[in-house]
Amino acid sequence: MTAPPTKEQIKAMADAAEARSRRGQTTTDEFIDDAVQEGEVKAEVERLAKLSKPLYDRERQAVRQKLGIRVGTLDDLVEAERDKTEKSGDDFSLPHWNVQPWPDEVSGEQLLDDLCAVFRKYIYAPPSVSEAAALWVLHAWTIDAGDISPFFVLVSPTKCCGKTSMLILCVYLTPRSELVSNISPSALFRYVEHIKPTLLIDEADSFVSTSNEMRGILNSGHTKPAANVIRNVEVNGEHKPRRFSTWCPKDIATIRDIADTLDDRSIRAQLQRKPKAAQVARLRKRDCPEFSILRQKAARWAEDNFAALAADPDPKMGQPGTRASH
């Protein structure tokens, strides 16, 4: 027969039960960190509520296991968050964020040609700049398929070289885009965590170059596994560490050079003043059917090709002068 528990063992079990009761946790909950139980659950639910249904379906099992909750519970929380957002409205939501994918299948080659054409139509720059911009736009639509997100850096030798116009085109061609001319380090990672935007930063020479903290946060967002910063936040009257994501596409415009650490992580587009004899169309700096159609086609292409891109981290690029298979 099994020996009865000693007084010391009974007291230890009673103390443990009382501690669990005070915390309001079950035995299973003891294995889940408090920060995960409170701050992390809320952050994950808010993030998942912003995903499209295919992306959510791919992530729900992994997130459910991470948080230690049932799939049905996670579905209910995400659905409630979506309902809350729809009813209250998103203070940061912009009209061009609401994109319905193009109804028909989209050719990636034709889409890249169309994106190149729209950049060449409005911006005076070498052909390589419009080609890099077109590829980066599609990267913005499929960022979660890869592990690296290079900055697209627009460098002007002086004023009036078209960098702001390039950013405005990117505003209307990329998903959930936000154009800012100044942002603080703390607002940067909180906004990325909350919105998951395509972040377009103008006038970077006026504030990024002088802030080591800003450069460190931006640098962290280059590689997906490292795209996090940790800050203390208040949870139920206690300060606890919380992870904030810095993972999102970033387009940075600056006059003259940027910091070496940013430049090393960048696709660099060198802009120049338009000669008087050169002709480009006038950019009215507002949304229009031309941009809306390209967004819809990019959304459809990304939806159709996301799984293939995610499954092949090192695709064949073909011979020089040819297009990649995707």
Q: Please write the tens of the pLDDT for every residue from 4-27.
A: 555 565 555 556 555 555 555 444
Would the pLDDT of 44 be above 80? Answer: yes
**From 79-93, 105-119, 141-155, 270-284, the region with the lowest mean pLDDT:** 79-93
For range 149-177, the mean pLDDT = 89
Amino acid 275 reads: P
Cα dihedral sign, 100-104-105-111: negative
pLDDT at 30: 45
Calculate the average pLDDT of the chain.
83
What pTM was estimated for this model as a whole? 0.71
Whether domain 96-311 has CATH 3.40.630.10 = no
The predicted-structure confidence for 273-314, as pLDDT tens digits, reads as follows 888 888 889 998 889 999 999 999 999 999 999 999 998 767
pLDDT at 156: 83
Would the pLDDT of 205 be above 80? Answer: yes
Q: What is the 3-state secondary structure (H, E, C) of the chain?
A: CCCCCCHHHHHHHHHHHHHHHHHCCCCHHHHCCHHHHHHHHHHHHHHHHCCCHHHHHHHHHHHHHHHCCCHHHHHHHHHHHHHHHHHHCCCCCCHHHCCCCCCCCCCHHHHHHHHHHHHHHHCCCCHHHHHHHHHHHHHHHCHHHCCECCEEEEEECCCCCCHHHHHHHHHCCCCCEEEECCCCHHHHHHHHHHHCCEEEECCHHHCCCCCHHHHHHHHHCCEHHHCEEEEEEEECCEEEEEEEECCCCEEEEEECCCCHHHHCCEEEEECCCCCCCCCCCCCCCCCCHHHHHHHHHHHHHHHHHHHHHHHCCCCCCCCCCCCCCC
For range 154-183, the mean pLDDT = 89
Would the pLDDT of 229 be above 70? Answer: yes
pLDDT at 274: 83
pLDDT at 15: 61
pLDDT at 26: 44
For range 165-193, the mean pLDDT = 95
For range 205-218, the mean pLDDT = 89
For the chain, the structural domain boundaries read 15-89, 96-311
**From 55-59, 122-126, 140-144, 172-176, the region with the lowest mean pLDDT:** 55-59
Would the pLDDT of 2 be above 50? Answer: no
